[in-house]
Chains A and B, each alone.
Chain A
């Protein structure tokens, strides 16, 4: 391989756009793994529902235990709605930083953080109020799995939203906004994954 050794103007410091583009690709690639995981969860749900092995997807009543009934999916759609509102608030903040409006960025990030916390708390309430345990058949197992995956996503979202808001508040994202762009990618995926879970549970 023949090479020339022209010196770059600033070899040790890359342009923020270059770093941003690289980081965006990295996050998208990690999301590929997360998407594969989420789709696998949906596969598990529909596979077990379709098979209904031993009629234990939703077990009938026995002398020892009542029948397991599918929960209304309303709660999961509420969580998705909260996630969607958080994503919208974050996007509002992103538009602010693109227009060099720091106040809008901090406000959008702060509201997004509040929505992510609300969604997380609501998700916890849903899990704790479910009228069955993980041992109550295949539907119950899948319900907890989807809820747990969403909870994990929400915990990560709270972490990211807090960091994003805190850094915005400290003025770190004034010069360039690729960090905020990348957080937006996460918010979109978080909302979509929550929506996928709600969609699955609507077909119980």
Chain B
């Protein structure tokens, strides 16, 4: 049934039938997904009993929506081919060598990007594209928010629409930021960088990507199901009281959390078990440490996030009372579960971003990384402390006031390992012969932006300062300085750095620099303006604001439009460079890590002969300072 056969070039009437795995693609995924959703919805509508038990919040509509979304999920994953491997294992009919090669996308050209392809390079490109799509959607939503806030009174968007736009912007950007480094570069670059032929579990790799795709329709469906009026944190009891759009949010988060867990196990196992001969931990590039720390941190914390949404879904669909005080539940429980993931998630984003910068810094200064051990201590310190800081988000909620002091201490302590990473970057740049490229400029920009983001974070970790600032848009400015100013800027640097390896073309210099400067200028205008109105007391997540804040909001909105211009130039640069860019040489940056030792296009199994590593990747000579 699923055997791949060598078919003749012309598919005449006598040509053998296509095997099942050859027929499956995103088209069959979408078709089966839609059929599954409609069928499940119909069955739910027909057979679900009428709700007569007098529960507080469950509605029949929520039950139907959840069941339809589960139908979508099962249908889509079946249609894309995710279940073939497990069922073949069950039946004892393992994939043949030819089938494995087919799954790897061998000789399939562009079609492999639309299939359940297991080759890590294909998955890396898929992640790159979906990340850009997610950021585009999130960016459009950001512009809607800023346009609404650009004049006194707002009201350009209806309040419920505004809240939904804010929530969708938040969750799409957080998802995009989580996958922006570990998705494209963790998949495409990391296995080559460690001298492996592929990821440890290629099919899990494809699964993690297609789960992200499967999460998109439920999330977008929320727009037509009444919206998500809660912001991305989806606090209860607001979440339980929200329209069925919330069900789409819950379903999307659950699917995405599974994707993150699967990717975490896969990337960690790859880095631990598949490094080339001779690549001891001391010779392992710092980028690998960053990626592994990020996904390993995600492994224990995302299940907690997953559970928080499962419980919310159960409250909405079955009438359970985990978060409803009338039935013995507690909204504080939700807040704890959410932030046990929510704060480490910031470092899930930032650690690989900073590690990418630390990987690039020696290349563009032609000197070794300043204190490799300090960098590792910094990464380990952040990872460890990040799971002990979550309750600083709960200072003003009234939950366990006695714990405010200890959580303030752990939160402020995290600035020490973060400072170590700053020191490593500055130490590497110090008196180096800096080659000014866009990735180098990204390092300087991140040092500037993250200093502001970090210092304002210290204010928020302080219990008394947080009492004044907590509900204000100051917080929004702070986390944009860290996640966008540091995280996204690092990712753009990484994109330009690894673009030649991933596409075979150099990133257009003129477009790259133009986008960089416009974005950085716009970014600082936008969020400095936001700090200003935040300090003056402008509340977050409010669409209709007082004229008192007009000046700061106008500045922020102007800055946002400048960012949008920069991002469109960047997007244009990606497309132009990818299609028409100057062809890249094998190692245009003269870097020493393994990914630059293979030519473009990188062969299916990366290396004809597996490399044996004899020294670290930063042997650019002795540092002179």
Chain B stretch 35-83: residues in CB contact (< 8 A) with chain A: 53-56, 58
Contact of B319 among A1, A51, A133 (CB under 8 A): A133
Residues in chain B near residue A184, CB distance under 8 A: none
Asked whether any CB of chain A lies closer than 8 Å to the CB of B283, the reply is yes
CB of B208 to closest CB in A, whole Å: 12
Known A-B contacts A1-B615, A22-B274; A141 and B201 likewise in contact (beta carbons under 8 Å): no
Contact of B321 among A22, A33, A137, A172 (CB under 8 A): A137
Asked whether any CB of chain A lies closer than 8 Å to the CB of B609, the reply is yes
A44 x B272 contact (CB < 8 A): no
Complex CA gap A177/B55 in Å reads 51
Residues in chain A near residue B612, CB distance under 8 A: 3-6
Residues in chain A near residue B328, CB distance under 8 A: 48, 51-57, 59, 137-139, 141
A172 x B614 contact (CB < 8 A): no
Complex CA gap A22/B266 in Å reads 10
Residues in chain A near residue B204, CB distance under 8 A: 26
CB of B12 to closest CB in A, whole Å: 34
Residues in chain A near residue B268, CB distance under 8 A: 25, 29
Asked whether any CB of chain A lies closer than 8 Å to the CB of B265, the reply is yes
Asked whether any CB of chain B lies closer than 8 Å to the CB of A61, the reply is no
Chain A stretch 4-52: residues in CB contact (< 8 A) with chain B: 4-8, 11-12, 18, 21-23, 25-26, 29-30, 32-37, 40-41, 44, 47-48, 51-52
B90 x A29 contact (CB < 8 A): no
Asked whether any CB of chain A lies closer than 8 Å to the CB of B593, the reply is yes
Residues in chain B near residue A44, CB distance under 8 A: 307, 311, 322, 333, 337
Contact count A vs B, C-beta below 8 Å? 180
Residues in chain A near residue B593, CB distance under 8 A: 1
Complex CA gap A142/B328 in Å reads 11
Known A-B contacts A36-B301, A53-B328; A2 and B619 likewise in contact (beta carbons under 8 Å): yes
A1 x B616 contact (CB < 8 A): yes
Residues in chain B near residue A40, CB distance under 8 A: 303-304, 307, 337, 340
A25 x B283 contact (CB < 8 A): no
A1 x B592 contact (CB < 8 A): yes
Asked whether any CB of chain B lies closer than 8 Å to the CB of A159, the reply is yes
Residues in chain B near residue A25, CB distance under 8 A: 200, 268-269, 272-273
Residues in chain A near residue B58, CB distance under 8 A: 135
A34 x B303 contact (CB < 8 A): yes
CB of A192 to closest CB in B, whole Å: 16
- Interface-facing stretch out of A79-87, A88-96, A120-128, A162-170: A162-170
B609 x A8 contact (CB < 8 A): yes
Known A-B contacts A1-B619, A44-B311, A54-B326; A33 and B300 likewise in contact (beta carbons under 8 Å): yes
Of all chain B residues, the one with the shortest Cβ separation from A11 is: B610
A163 x B89 contact (CB < 8 A): yes
Residues in chain B near residue A163, CB distance under 8 A: 89-90, 92
A1 x B265 contact (CB < 8 A): no
Asked whether any CB of chain B lies closer than 8 Å to the CB of A134, the reply is yes
Complex CA gap A139/B320 in Å reads 10
Complex CA gap A26/B208 in Å reads 14
Residues in chain A near residue B450, CB distance under 8 A: none
A138 x B303 contact (CB < 8 A): no
CB of B261 to closest CB in A, whole Å: 4
Asked whether any CB of chain A lies closer than 8 Å to the CB of B116, the reply is no
Residues in chain A near residue B333, CB distance under 8 A: 44, 47-48, 51
Chain A stretch 160-183: residues in CB contact (< 8 A) with chain B: 162-163, 166-167, 169-170, 172
Asked whether any CB of chain A lies closer than 8 Å to the CB of B327, the reply is yes
A135 x B53 contact (CB < 8 A): yes
CB of A44 to closest CB in B, whole Å: 6
Of all chain A residues, the one with the shortest Cβ separation from B88 is: A163
Contact of B615 among A2, A12, A41 (CB under 8 A): A2
Q: Give the interface centre of B285, B321, B615 by most chain A CB atoms within 10 Å.
A: B321
Asked whether any CB of chain B lies closer than 8 Å to the CB of A145, the reply is yes
Complex CA gap A146/B154 in Å reads 46
B92 x A172 contact (CB < 8 A): yes
Q: Give the interface centre of B311, B615, B616, B619 by most chain A CB atoms within 10 Å.
A: B311
Residues in chain A near residue B299, CB distance under 8 A: 29, 32-33, 36
Residues in chain A near residue B524, CB distance under 8 A: none
Taken residue by residue from 333 to 360, chain B's Cβ proximity to chain A (1 for < 8 Å, 0 otherwise) reads as 1001100100000000000000000000
A30 x B619 contact (CB < 8 A): no
B304 x A135 contact (CB < 8 A): no
CB of B158 to closest CB in A, whole Å: 33
Asked whether any CB of chain A lies closer than 8 Å to the CB of B605, the reply is yes
B329 x A162 contact (CB < 8 A): no
B92 x A141 contact (CB < 8 A): no
A56 x B326 contact (CB < 8 A): yes
B300 x A51 contact (CB < 8 A): no
Residues in chain A near residue B273, CB distance under 8 A: 18, 21-22, 25
A134 x B597 contact (CB < 8 A): no
A36 x B303 contact (CB < 8 A): yes
Of all chain B residues, the one with the shortest Cβ separation from A56 is: B328
Complex CA gap A126/B328 in Å reads 23
Q: Give the interface centre of A7, A23, A34, A53 by most chain B CB atoms within 10 Å.
A: A53
Asked whether any CB of chain A lies closer than 8 Å to the CB of B420, the reply is no
Complex CA gap A3/B587 in Å reads 15
Asked whether any CB of chain A lies closer than 8 Å to the CB of B226, the reply is no
Complex CA gap A47/B332 in Å reads 10
Asked whether any CB of chain A lies closer than 8 Å to the CB of B330, the reply is yes
Known A-B contacts A53-B330, A138-B328; A32 and B300 likewise in contact (beta carbons under 8 Å): yes
CB of B596 to closest CB in A, whole Å: 9
Complex CA gap A35/B94 in Å reads 29
B321 x A144 contact (CB < 8 A): no
CB of A92 to closest CB in B, whole Å: 21
Residues in chain B near residue A166, CB distance under 8 A: 90-92
Q: Give the interface centre of A52, A138, A144 by most chain B CB atoms within 10 Å.
A: A138
CB of B577 to closest CB in A, whole Å: 27
Of all chain B residues, the one with the shortest Cβ separation from A25 is: B269
Complex CA gap A61/B306 in Å reads 34
Complex CA gap A82/B306 in Å reads 28
Residues in chain B near residue A5, CB distance under 8 A: 609, 611-612
B262 x A30 contact (CB < 8 A): yes
CB of A115 to closest CB in B, whole Å: 18
Of all chain A residues, the one with the shortest Cβ separation from B204 is: A26
Chain A stretch 84-121: residues in CB contact (< 8 A) with chain B: none
Complex CA gap A122/B201 in Å reads 35
CB of A180 to closest CB in B, whole Å: 13
Asked whether any CB of chain A lies closer than 8 Å to the CB of B318, the reply is yes
Asked whether any CB of chain A lies closer than 8 Å to the CB of B424, the reply is no
Residues in chain B near residue A1, CB distance under 8 A: 283, 285, 592-594, 597, 613, 615-617, 619
B262 x A3 contact (CB < 8 A): no
Residues in chain B near residue A35, CB distance under 8 A: 300
Contacts A30-B262, A137-B321 supplied; 6 other A-B pairs, CB < 8 Å? A21-B273, A30-B265, A41-B307, A44-B322, A56-B321, A135-B54
The 5 closest A-B pairs by CB, nearest first: A56-B328, A138-B328, A29-B265, A141-B320, A37-B303
What are 24 A-B pairs with beta-carbon distances under 8 A?
A1-B592, A1-B613, A1-B617, A1-B619, A2-B615, A11-B609, A12-B197, A25-B269, A26-B204, A26-B265, A29-B265, A33-B299, A36-B300, A36-B301, A37-B307, A48-B333, A56-B326, A133-B53, A133-B319, A135-B321, A139-B328, A140-B320, A141-B329, A162-B90
